[in-house]
Amino acid sequence: MGRYGRFPGFDAAAQWRHWDPATAGSVLARLGPPQPIRFFTPEEHATADALCERLLALEPDRPVPVVAMIDARLAEQETDGWRYADMPEDGQAWRLSLAALKADAVDCFQRPFAALTADRRDRLIGRVRELDSTPWHDLPAGHVWSLWTRYACTAFYSHPFAWNEIGFPGPAYPRGYKNLGVDAREPYEVEDEGKS
């Protein structure tokens, strides 16, 4: 049902027997162990984990391996099919922005980013968001923000754990939907128990 308890008993992946094989293979793989880290160095890995934990308010036990999912995309060069002219390609942009976060942490708090308290990390991350089009360590801050949130959200909201939290049943082929319309639900969809 997820952190907010809005959809009690709802479990998107429990419906997997109703999914077609190609889809089931693709989605259920996300419930298994993630790929080993191949792209990030150990230091980048630690910084990325400390960043994504705050960007998505991730649970301490990491039910969604967001950083491993981002690492897999970067290792396979699975980009979105474009980059801003004032940014390097995505992999290099991740490396540079993680190094910049680490440099900010050392400047402000004399400790690596990954070793900072959540509050301090939020201050550094929040500063990048607020800079918007202003340069941050020679990178346009707004485009760094777009890079981080695109990769992090794509990873997190592709996972059935996240779907349970938002009441989304995930794959719908071949079954489809029979009950369309406002306040209409399928038997396996669960009513929202209230605004969080």
Partner 1 sequence: MSSVRERNASAWLLPNDGTRTNHQLRRDMRRFDDNDEVDAVIVGCGAGGSVLLQRLARAGWRVVGLDAGPFWDPDTDWVSDEAGSHHLYWTDPRVISGADPVPLGSNNSGRGVGGSMVHFAGYVPRFHPSDFRTLSQDGVGADWPIAYRDLKPYYTAIEQELPVAGEHWPWGDPHGYPHRPHPVGGNGEIFLRGAEKLGITAKVGPVAIPNGRFGNRPHCVYRGFCLQGCKVNAKASPLITHVPDALAHGAEIRADSMVAHIDVDEHTGLATGVHYIRNGLQRFQRARVVIVAGYSIETPRLLLNSASRRFPDGLCNDFDQVGRYVMVQGAPQTAGRFDSEIRMYKAPPPEVSTEEFYETDPAKPYHRGFAIQTVSPLPITWAEHVAAQGHWGADLRRMMSDYVHWSCLGALCELLPQPENRVTLAQETDRHGLPVANMAYSRCANDRALMSAARGVMEDLLRAAGADEVMTIERYAHLVGGARMAADERHGVVDADSRSFAVPNLYIADGSVLPTQGSANPALTIMALAARAADRLSA
Tell me which residues touch partner 1 (CB under 8 A).
2-4, 6, 19-20, 22-23, 26-27, 54-57, 78-86, 89, 122, 125, 129, 149-150, 153-158, 162-163, 165-168, 170-185, 189, 191-192, 195-196
CB closer to partner 1, 41 vs 126: 126
CB closer to partner 1, 41 vs 59: 59
- Tokens 């998107």 locate to 12
Beta bridge partners of 19: 174
In this structure, are residues 119 and 126 in contact, taking their beta carbons and an 8 Å threshold?
no
Q: Cα torsion for 22, 26, 28, 33, to the nearest 10°?
A: 140
Min dist. Cβ of residue 157 to partner 1 (A): 4
Min dist. Cβ of residue 60 to partner 1 (A): 14
CB closer to partner 1, 43 vs 140: 140
- Tokens 């942009």 locate to 93
Radius of gyration, CA atoms only, the chain: 19
Min dist. Cβ of residue 43 to partner 1 (A): 23
Token pair belonging to 41 = 């160095």
Min dist. Cβ of residue 113 to partner 1 (A): 16
CB atoms inside a 10 Å sphere around CB 94: 24
CB closer to partner 1, 112 vs 170: 170
Min dist. Cβ of residue 192 to partner 1 (A): 6
CB closer to partner 1, 43 vs 168: 168
For residue 147, report the phi and psi dihedrals to the nearest 5 degrees: -60, -50
In 87-177, DSSP assigns E strands to 135-136, 139-140
